[in-house]
Amino acid sequence: METLALDVELSEELQAMRAAVRSFVTGELGPWAEEIDRTGEIPEALYPVLQRNGYCGMRLPVEYGGGGLSLFQYCIALEEFSRLHRAFTIAANYSSGMTPMALTRHGTPEQKERYLPRFARGEIKSGFALTEPEAGSDPAGMRTRAERHGDTWVLNGRKHYISGGHVADVIMVMAVTDPQKRARGGITAFLVDRNTPGFKVTRVDTTIATDAIKLAELTFENCELPEGAVLGEVGAGFKVAMRSLNDGRLSVSCSCVGAAESLLSMATEHSKNRRTFGKLLAERQAIQWMLADSAMEIAAARALAYDTLRRLESGKNVGSAGSMCKLFCSEMVGRVVDRVVQIHGGMGVIRGFPVERFYRDVRHYRVGEGASEIQRIVIARDLLRGIDISE
C-alpha cells in the first residue's frame, strides 16, 4: 500500500529503480530477514547476494566497480530495504555509507585503489568512529589524539557506540591533531585497518533494536599509522565528518519513511481483518484516525526528504534542511510505530512479530546520526545566523 501517490514526482529513472529494488527485496530478502532475526547476526553469505544484484558499493564510482548512484538514488534503495528489515540498510552502508563516500571524495589515488574496489565487491566493511565517552556531537570534548612522530602518526584514545565497529575492516577515525584549533582545523580523519597493532575492539553491545545491530567500543593504544592513513588534509577532519553525517542524515530520513510505510500497511491490513465486539477495527473511528494521521505524516516526511534531495542534486545550498529531515522523519516513524503497536494490541508487543521488532528498531533513529536535540540546535543556529532555509 502507498500512502499518497507522491511517487509521480519521481523521474522515470527513479521510479524504475524503486520498482527494481522493491522486486528484489520482496522476492529474495524475506528468508534473509528471518535468518537475521533467528541468529541475531547479519550473515556473511548475504553480502555476495547483495553484490551480485548490484547492492554493494552502490554510490561508489563506476571505475572502481561501484554503481555510481547519486545520494537520491541511494536513499530510494534504503527506503525500500527498510520496509523489510533495518539490518539491510546497515549492510548496504558498510560499502556505500559514510566512510566509503569520504574515501571517494577525499581519498588519494592510492587509498581509493586499495579500498574502493573491495567495498564494491562486498569483500570488506567500513565503520565511522566519532563518538567518545565525553564527546559525541561536541568536538570540544574529543579526547582521542594523534601525534606525529617522524613519518608516522601515533593514535591514542577510545571511541564508543560505533555502529558495526566489531566487524568493520577499515574505520574512519576522527582524532585531535591540534588541541588549540580542534574543530577549526585541529581534527584529522584517519583510516585504520582492523589488523593494525594497537587497535582493539574492547566491547560489543547489543542494542534495543534487533540483535544483529550492535555497537562497539574501540580502543587505540600507541596505534602507529603511516602518513598514508590520513584521509584528506591534516586538520580538515571535522569538515569531512560533517559532510559524511549530512549524507547519513538524509539516508536515515528515507529509511524512516520506508519503515513507517511498511508499518502503516501492516496496521491497515490488520484493521481490515481483526474483529472486536462484533466489529472490524477498520470500522472504528479511533482506528481510522490513527491510520489517517500516520498516512498524513508519512506523506509530509517523504515530501520533505525528496525535496531536500532534489535541491542538493541541483547544487543548491540546503542549509540545515538535512537536520530538519532527520529530525522530522525519525520522530515521525516513532509516532507511527506507536500507533501501529496500539492497533495490533497484544500481538504488537510479542517477540517474533514484525511490529514488535520494528518498534525497537526505529527507536534508534532518534539517537543515531545526531540525536533529535542536536538537530534542533543545528536548525536553530541557521535561523539565528539569518540563513534562508528555504533556498
For residues 35 and 113, state if they share a domain: yes
For residues 276 and 195, state if they share a domain: no
The rounded distance, in Å, linking the Cα atoms of 145 and 143 is 6
pTM for the model: 0.93
Last residue of a domain, one of 214, 235, 256: 235
Share of the chain above pLDDT 70, in %: 97
For residues 106 and 154, state if they share a domain: no
For residues 360 and 327, state if they share a domain: yes
For residues 248 and 378, state if they share a domain: yes
The rounded distance, in Å, linking the Cα atoms of 184 and 237 is 10
Whether residue 353 lies inside any domain: the answer is yes
Whether residue 389 lies inside any domain: the answer is no
For residues 109 and 225, state if they share a domain: no
For residues 81 and 139, state if they share a domain: no
For residues 35 and 139, state if they share a domain: no
Last residue of a domain, one of 120, 155, 190: 120
Name the E strands within 229-298.
230-231, 275-276, 279-280
CATH number at residue 299: 1.20.140.10
DSSP state of 236: B
The rounded distance, in Å, linking the Cα atoms of 51 and 40 is 22
pLDDT tier at 135, thresholds 50, 70, 90: confident
pLDDT of residue 387: 66
Q: What is the pLDDT of residues 355-371, one digit of tens each?
A: 999 999 999 999 988 89
Beta strand 170-176 pairing with 126-129: parallel
For residues 145 and 110, state if they share a domain: no
Q: At what angle do helices 30-39 and 12-28 cross, to 10 degrees?
A: 60
Residue with cell 535541491: 311
CATH number at residue 42: 1.10.540.10
- Average pLDDT of the chain is 93
For residues 198 and 272, state if they share a domain: no
Whether residue 145 lies inside any domain: the answer is yes
Active site residue 227: no
The arithmetic mean of pLDDT across residues 258-282, rounded, is 96
Whether residue 150 lies inside any domain: the answer is yes
Residue with cell 541511494: 74
CATH number at residue 182: 2.40.110.10
Last residue of a domain, one of 71, 87, 120: 120
- State whether the Cα torsion 149-193-191-207 is positive or negative: negative
From the candidates 221, 369, 373, 391, give the one annotated as an active-site residue. 369
Whether residue 351 lies inside any domain: the answer is yes
Q: What is the pLDDT of residues 328-339, one digit of tens each?
A: 999 999 999 999
pLDDT of residue 7: 40
The rounded distance, in Å, linking the Cα atoms of 90 and 103 is 18
For residue 259, give its domain range. Answer: 239-384
143, 135 Cβ separation under 8 angstroms: yes
Whether residue 1 lies inside any domain: the answer is no
pLDDT of residue 292: 98
Q: What is the pLDDT of residues 67-95, one digit of tens each?
A: 999 999 999 999 999 999 999 999 999 99
The rounded distance, in Å, linking the Cα atoms of 257 and 261 is 6
Whether residue 308 lies inside any domain: the answer is yes
Q: Enumerate residues 6+ apart whose C-beta is below 8 A from 6.
A: 299, 302, 303, 306
| Domain count of the fold of the chain | 3
pLDDT top residue among 9 and 189: 189
For residues 116 and 12, state if they share a domain: yes
For residues 85 and 162, state if they share a domain: no
Whether residue 154 lies inside any domain: the answer is yes
pLDDT tier at 2, thresholds 50, 70, 90: very low
